[in-house]
Structure 1
Amino acid sequence: MTERVTLYGKPGCHLCDDARVVVTQVCDELGVTWSEIDITQDDQLFAEYGEQIPVTFVDGRQHDFWRVDPVRLKKALTS
């Protein structure tokens, strides 16, 4: 099963920690799978998203960065 939500972040990022909580809550509520990618493990991802993390994708398309709004995420997953 392919994850519908992907969270790009890095260790030690407090915004990433906050985003992880929101993504977990919304995805658990809706029964949606999600994954997390550590951008420090990929030079290209780090160069692309290093200033925007956390970055969330829904169904392969960029959804949000810096903060994850639970209402907006839920809407994207149920529309």
Structure 2
Amino acid sequence: MTNSTTHEVTLLTRAGCGMCERALEQLQGICAEFGIEVGSVDVDAVAATEPGLRAEYGDRLPVVLLDGREHSYFDVDETRLRADLFR
């Protein structure tokens, strides 16, 4: 299933986060159906250059960003994400 609109999906993560690993696997499966590569950003690794990411999202990872905006956190909202990617 592909869509003419290109979206960007990014997962904010932290090393050693089991929930983050599961969310990434789930996102990769969903996004592959739409021909989208999932990006991921470790909020601790980029804290020196982007401290705002860790400050805003660091206590509720994983966070899914769709087109740069928060889409869901802790769990991937698969139904909503599929609907939004189809738009």
Q: Common fold, TM-score beyond 0.5? A: yes
Unaligned runs of 5+ in 1: none
Give how far 1:42 is off. 2.4
Query: Is structure 2 residue 17 aligned with structure 1 residue 13?
Result: yes
Q: Please point out which of 50, 54, 57 is paired with 2:65.
A: 57
Give how far 1:36 is off. 0.3
Unaligned runs of 5+ in 2: 1-5
What is the number of equivalent residue pairs in this alignment? Answer: 78
**Pairwise CA RMSD:** 1.6
Letter in 2 for 1:56: V
Of Structure 1 and Structure 2, the greater helix share is in: 1
1:7-46 alignment to 2 at 5 Å? 7-43=11-47, 44=51, 45-46=53-54
Query: If the length of structure 2 is used for normalisation, what is the TM-score?
Result: 0.80
Query: If the length of structure 1 is used for normalisation, what is the TM-score?
Result: 0.87
The equivalent residue for 2:83 is: 75
- 1:12-33, CA deviations, whole angstroms, 9 ceiling, x for partnerless residues? 1011011101110001111112
Give how far 1:3 is off. 6.2
What is the aligned-residue identity percentage?
36
